[in-house]
């Protein structure tokens, strides 16, 4: 099993959406952009992508072209990297103030699979994945973590490319055809489908059942507790 993190295991997607909205509202005001940031922008340009890729896509949607810069750029830098780092300031502040707990249904399924010694990993575009997993009390349940830091180190393309999921499967020593992927992002579902994974489970946290199916989900659920219940029923 390979799980996306934000929106699948933990409600960090809500914090990310808040951080992106706050940050881009500020950036657009600075640059005189009159078309406001919306939730549709999040799902189309940001959800599931590595941070700098998402920033570049979002800026391009408003006709803004900036240099990439460096990952070490300060949050005040007028570069793609600087703006991405500014977003992380908003996110870290929200996570520190609000804390983090996994979705109850996700914890139920993960605990059940862990007891059965199911090979599991997390595949997340976030650079903060280990921090979030630690805050949510899940870090010890996932020996394999493929996050934004690993993707940069291994030169793995961002979702919707299948690279990160395929790398995760390789770390589990399993072919993609024997791995189930849980994803809430359209780009993540498309990535898993492109990788020819055995089962792609879309988790609807706002993208919509139809959109997830159109992206390639074999089945769509509203909560991971639904999958745990279905698995239990099949056993009995």
The pLDDT score that the predictor gives to residue 229 is 63
Residues 113 and 226 grouped into a single domain: yes
CB atoms within 10 A of CB 59: 20
State the residue for tokens 């993609």: 176
pLDDT in tens, the chain (236 residues): 999 998 999 988 778 888 999 999 999 999 999 999 998 999 889 987 888 999 999 999 999 999 999 999 999 999 999 999 999 898 888 888 877 899 999 999 999 999 999 999 999 988 889 989 998 999 999 999 999 999 999 999 988 999 999 999 999 999 999 999 999 999 999 999 999 999 999 999 988 999 999 999 999 999 999 887 665 555 54
The pLDDT score that the predictor gives to residue 12 is 82
pTM score, whole prediction: 0.76
- Edge to edge, the sheet with strand 121-123 lists 144-146, 121-123, 2-3, 180-183, 199-203, 219-221
Residues 124 and 226 grouped into a single domain: yes
Residues 226 and 113 grouped into a single domain: yes
User: The domain containing residue 78 runs over which residues?
Assistant: 13-98
- Please provide residue 221's backbone torsions phi and psi, each rounded to the nearest 5 degrees: -125, 160
**Active-site option among 4, 47, 147, 204:** 4
Q: What is the CATH number of the domain that holds 48?
A: 1.10.150
Residues 145 and 180 grouped into a single domain: yes
Strands 219-221 and 144-146: unpaired
**Active-site option among 6, 47, 147, 204:** 6
Residues 93 and 124 grouped into a single domain: no
Q: For residue range 133-178, what is the model confidence (pLDDT) as tens digits?
A: 998 999 999 999 999 999 999 999 988 999 999 999 999 999 999 9
Annotation says 6 is catalytic: yes
Annotation says 4 is catalytic: yes
Q: What is the CATH number of the domain that holds 180?
A: 3.40.50.1000
CA distances from 26 to 29, 72, 205, 214 (A): 5, 21, 26, 33
Residues 69 and 115 grouped into a single domain: no
Helix (H) or strand (E) holding 202: strand 199-203
Residues 83 and 147 grouped into a single domain: no
CA distances from 106 to 109, 161, 182, 204, 223 (A): 5, 25, 10, 13, 7
Structural domain count of the chain: 2
Residues 110 and 198 grouped into a single domain: yes
């Amino acid at each position: 099993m390979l799980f996306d993190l934000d929106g699948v295991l933990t409600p960090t997607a809500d914090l990310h959406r808040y951080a992106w909205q706050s940050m881009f509202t500020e950036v657009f005001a600075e640059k005189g952009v009159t078309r406001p940031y919306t939730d549709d922008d999040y799902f189309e340009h940001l959800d599931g992508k590595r941070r700098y890729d998402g920033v570049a896509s979002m800026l391009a949607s408003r006709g803004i072209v900036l240099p990439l810069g460096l990952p070490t750029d300060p949050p005040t830098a007028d570069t793609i990297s600087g703006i991405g780092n500014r977003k992380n300031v908003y996110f870290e502040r929200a996570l520190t103030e609000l804390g983090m707990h996994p979705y109850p249904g996700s914890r139920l399924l993960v605990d059940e699979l862990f007891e059965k010694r199911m090979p599991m990993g997390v595949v997340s575009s976030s650079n903060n994945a280990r921090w979030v997993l630690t805050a949510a009390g899940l870090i010890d349940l996932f020996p394999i973590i493929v996050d934004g830091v690993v993707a940069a180190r291994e030169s793995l393309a961002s979702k919707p490319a299948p690279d990160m999921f395929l790398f995760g499967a390789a770390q589990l020593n399993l072919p993609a055809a024997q791995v189930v992927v849980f994803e809430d992002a359209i780009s993540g579902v498309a990535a898993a489908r492109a990788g020819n994974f055995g089962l792609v489970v879309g988790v609807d946290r706002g993208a919509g059942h139809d959109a997830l199916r159109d992206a390639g989900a074999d089945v769509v659920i509203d909560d991971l507790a639904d999958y745990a219940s279905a698995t239990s029923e099949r056993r009995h």
